[in-house]
A and B are shown apart, each in its own frame.
Chain A
Amino acid sequence: MTTDRPTGDPWQTATVTEARPETRTAKTFRLALPAPAPRLAGQYYVVRLTAPDGYTASRSYSVASAPNDSGEIELTVERLDGGEVSEFLHDEVVVGDDLEVRGPIGLWFVWEAETPAVLVGGGSGIVPLMAMLRLARQSGQSDLLRMAVSVRTPDDLYYANEITGPETTVAYTRAVPPSSTRPPSRLSEQDLAPLLLPDATAFVCGSPGFADFASGLLLGLGQPVEKIRVERFGPTS
């Protein structure tokens, strides 16, 4: 694998062109980039805030939109209590604001719509997986991809009006929507077994606890350990 070695200042000033809520605690920010670079589904951008005294705070946020030529990216940000950057983005940033960003970053947790993939996301861990699902759908490669998402309640599901499809399963752990035939319960082997495409690479994203739990389910179903890629979301506040 080769690595890009960018020269010059890797930071660019993006403009917020849209900000919309996904859930009570998550917002998607659409950013227009003056210098967009080719990117892969699953990558992230770093957002850097600068105070008048030069103090900076940066956090990484996964891109939720599929790679495209629009020159724009969508970052979905979960608002964490006390989260220095996420609280600012949620409470202060409006359309028209400028934000410093750099990216795309990461060449490991990425999918190029060429080989089978099984995506397993918990809560906000759906974000990089959503870029993969959107890529699969827009490129007509949905046959290559299956996705399971675990959330507490219907109100916690990001991208709710887009998720439903033959390639996706949602596991509600606490409360289910009226249309659901699955009782509220933790994600299980029964949920994942139908999704395991032959030779698939599994992409697991969520909290460390969820990532270990979901990886355990996949291993129990015979998914090879070397074909499980994990992204653990820390307190990306």
Chain B
Amino acid sequence: MAKPTRGFLGRGKAARDPRLPPGQYDAGDQWPVLTAEVTPQPDLASWSFSVEGLVAHPTTWNWEEIHALPGSAYSGDIHCVTTWSKLGVQFSGVSVDTLLGIAGLEPTATHVMAFSSTGYTTNLPLADVSGGRAWVVWEYESAPLPIEHGGPARLLVPHLYFWKSAKWVAGLRVLDHDEPGFWEQNGYHDRGDPWLEQRYQGD
């Protein structure tokens, strides 16, 4: 444990919500907006989501087609690397398992690169986006996902820091190796587990 900071008492460990990973605080009703690029203009008519790369059937869904898939929802917590968390939130959309199932993974597949309409990318091990742990979501608290939070649709991988949950997601490229995405090239951790405080490269 680090030496205490002179005069800092903190808000007390005992009162701390056990749902908060180390170093995180509860943002309450706030939902900070932190993105590195210009917020894009939504366009549902041209929206699409693709699964490509090491799959048997590369597939692209438009807005109507992805909504026709079996729905799936997440209720729980999200954690941003900048230290805010939101507790007990709800998203709904479609499970990534459904999308990967339709596309059919090749046996050599190990990782995915999520990519967004803005050019943003983030890398994830296949194990982190399968087994009911990841979604493509378009609703937040039963309302359309706001554009500044990644609408029309974003990736949701709530057990990892939220930069992995790519806003304005346009697809997943299935790979047989890991390679760093946008923030991962710019100093952030390749996996980003909030319970292990994997914030930056080297953590």
Contact = CB atoms under 8 A, between A and B. Distances in A.
A189 interface: no
B12 to A, nearest CB: 7
A131 B33 CA distance: 23
Contacts, number: 134
Contacts of A106: 186-187
A88 B2 contact: no
Given A55-B10, A235-B84, A3 B185 contact: yes
A59 B9 contact: no
B148 A50 contact: no
B1 interface: yes
A231 B37 CA distance: 8
B158 to A, nearest CB: 19
Given A3-B180, A236-B82, A84 B33 contact: no
Interface stretch (B22-30, B71-79, B93-101, B103-111): B22-30
B201 A3 contact: yes
A13 B12 CA distance: 23
Contacts of A1: 185-186
B13 to A, nearest CB: 5
B2 A229 contact: no
Contacts of B16: 55
A56 B39 CA distance: 33
Nearest to A225: B38
A4 to B, nearest CB: 7
Interface residues of A, number: 50
Interface in A202-237: 208, 212, 215, 219, 225-226, 228-232, 234-236
Contact of B36 (A212, A230, A234): A230
B37 A84 contact: no
Contacts of B187: 3-4, 105-107
Contact of B9 (A52, A100, A236): A52
Interface string B41-74: 0000000000000000000000000000000000
Nearest to A216: B38
15 contacts: A10-B202, A50-B2, A51-B5, A56-B23, A57-B8, A57-B23, A59-B83, A60-B82, A84-B10, A92-B6, A105-B187, A106-B186, A108-B183, A225-B38, A236-B82
Interface of B: 1-13, 16, 22-23, 25, 27, 30, 32-39, 82-84, 119, 148, 180, 182-187, 200-203
